[in-house]
Amino acid sequence: MTLLEQLEITQEIAKLKTEKNAVILAHNYQVPEVQDIADFVGDSLGLSQAAAQTDAEIIVFCGVHFMAETASILCPEQRVLLPDLEAGCSLAAMIDAEQLRQWKAEHSDAVVVSYVNTTAEVKAESDYCCTSANALKIIQAIPPEQEILFLPDMFLGAYLEKVTGRKMHIWPGECHVHAGIHPREIDAMHAIHPEAELLIHPECGCSTSCMYYQATGDSKGKVHILSTEGMIQHARRSLAKEFIVATEVGIVHRLQKEMTDKTFYPASERAICQYMKKITLEKVWISLQEEIYEVRVPEPTASKARRAIERMLALA
C-alpha cells in the first residue's frame, strides 16, 4: 500500500467513524498504522472498559477474537466488529469449556482463576478472571487454604507461584510468541545495551530466570516483570533512557511514539504474533464500511462470563 492510499483509507475511516458513531480500539500489539488511527490503544480488558464509557454504537476491535468477545460481554448494547475473524489466539486455544469442566470435576472444591486470554465459554466456567496486571492481587485475595485451578498460561502461573509461595494447579498452556523469547536472547541484548532496563511480560518463558536474576541482586533494579500497560507506565516514570522489551514487538511502536526521548529495543525480533498482524488498515476500513464481522456472546454465556470479570474487578 502506498502512502497516498494509506492516507486516503485513513481519511475514509475517520469519516465513517463520525457517520456511524463508531470507536476504534487497537491492542498494543497491532501494526503501527492501525494503532495510529485508533481512538484507544492499550491492553485487552482496558480497551473494553474504555469503550464501555463511550456512547459509541459500534466498536471496531483491532485485536484477536477473545478480546472482541470481552468487549461484547462488557458492552452488550453496542455492536462489536472484528476486522478479521481468523484473528485468533494460540493461548486462548489451549483450553476449551469442556476441558475445563472435566478439570473442575477432578477438583470439585477448587476455585477457578482464568486469565483474560480465554474464550467467553471458558470465562463462563470460571470463578474469577485475571489480567497479567492484577493476577497477583486476585491470587492473594483468595483464602490460603483454598485450592486453585489457574489457566491457561503455565508461565504466568509459575510466576505467581514464585511470588506468592503458593502451590496451585496450573494448566499446561502457553502463548507461542512469549514462549519463544529465550533467556539467551535477553542475555545477548543485555550485553549490547548494559545500561538498559528490562521490561518482561510474565507470559514469557524466561520470566522465571529473570526473577532469579532479580532476586540475586545482580540486576540492580533493572528487571521489571510487567503487563503491557505496566510497561508503558513504568517507562514513562523511569529515569532510564534505554529499555529492552520482552513481549510482542508491536508495543515498541507505541512506546517509541509516546516517549521520543527514550529508546526501546525488542528482546527478540522474532516475537511477532501472526494473529495480531492479520488486522490491517484496509480490513478496518472494510469492516467499518460494511459493518462486518460482528462478534456477539450469547446468553447465558455472556452473563456468566461477566460475573467472573466483575468478581475480578471487585478484588483488583
Enumerate the known binding-site residues for iminosuccinate: 27, 44, 115-117, 132, 201-203, 228
Q: How far apart are CA 110 and CA 126, in angstroms?
A: 10
Max CA distance (Å), the chain: 61
Angle at 229 between CA 223 and CA 233, to 5 degrees: 65
Q: Which three cell numbers stand for residue 102?
A: 472435566
Residue-wise DSSP of 246-263: ES-TTHHHHHHHH-TTSE
21-52: b (≥16 Cβ within 10 Å) or e = ebbbbbbbbbbebbbbbbbbbbbbbbbbbbbe
Which three cell numbers mark 280? 490491517
Nearest partner of 254 among 48, 36, 10, 13, judged by Cα: 36
Angle at 190 between CA 184 and CA 192, to 5 degrees: 110
**Which DSSP symbol is given to 173?**
B
Residue type, 316: A
Q: Return the number of other C-beta atoms located less than 10 Å from residue 235's C-beta.
A: 22
Pick out the residues of the known binding site for [4Fe-4S] cluster: 89, 175, 273
Q: Is the CB of residue 241 less than 8 Å from the CB of residue 222? A: no
CA 165 to chain centre: 25
Residue ranges for the binding site?
27, 44, 89, 115-117, 132, 175, 201-203, 228, 273
d(CA 253, CA 28): 8
**Neighbouring-strand partners of residue 23:** 59
Place of cell 489457574: 150
End-to-end CA distance of the chain: 43
